[in-house]
Chains A and B, each alone.
Chain A
Amino acid sequence: GAVVSQHPSWVICKSGTSVKIECRSLDFQATTMFWYRQFPKQSLMLMATSNEGSKATYEQGVEKDKFLINHASLTLSTLTVTSAHPEDSSFYICSAIDGTVNQPQHFGDGTRLSIL
């Protein structure tokens, strides 16, 4: 149980395009989803927290207009990297929790984004 699916797993696109990454909870309802960014050989950096039906809460230093997050349902959150540039290339990982007490975050398999 508690499976989180992330799609796509790998995307390459030209500079200036926008890229959408999906995060789905397959067998539970995710009241809260988190988006992380991970640079090579580094730890996870929390970008934002999204709750279903409300605006995402962004961490300090994360551009909300650059990284658009939508959590339209209890099983789906999307991260859109707008007008992507090479410096946005990274590994993006989502996680989700079901809102019950003492439940850990469940992670997707990540999306490797490469901007040419």
Chain B
Amino acid sequence: AQSVTQPDIHITVSEGASLELRCNYSYGATPYLFWYVQSPGQGLQLLLKYFSGDTLVQGIKGFEAEFKRSQSSFNLRKPSVHWSDAAEYFCAVGSFGNEKLTFGTGTRLTIIP
């Protein structure tokens, strides 16, 4: 069965510092990978996605993620965080022909001035 692990429940970083959120997946087929962000009381917004090709993908709001098949990882990065980046971040996995997504448990990001 497919699964997604986000090992960090909560991360606190200073504004302007770099950020890396970890995501590991377990999936039998070739995975499609996603990062979504959720502000309190809101739905999910897609940050970026990986289907195939270049393993480093660029997303919105200055985020990027790198797919590493050998490590079954899809970590999200941002070189310099802004206070508005404070939110909950979810990694998700799916595959071609399987429309369902499996979500990780999320990482809550807190930004300190």
Query: A interface vs B, CB < 8 Å?
Result: 4, 6, 32, 34, 41-44, 46, 49, 91, 93, 95, 97, 101-102, 104-110, 112
Contacts and interface: CB of A to CB of B under 8 A. Distances in A.
B67 interface: no
Given A43-B90, A43-B106, A44-B90, A105 B101 contact: yes
A46 B43 CA distance: 14
Given A44-B90, A104-B34, A110 B43 contact: yes
B104 interface: yes
Q: For chain B, which range describes its interface: under 10, 10 to 19, 20 to 34, or 35 or more residues?
A: 20 to 34
Contacts of B74: none
Contact of A107 (B36, B49, B51, B99): B36
Contacts of B90: 43-44
Contacts, number: 49
Given A42-B105, A43-B104, A44-B90, A104 B99 contact: no
A95 B108 CA distance: 22
A49 B36 contact: no
B41 A102 contact: no
B12 to A, nearest CB: 16
A104 B49 contact: yes
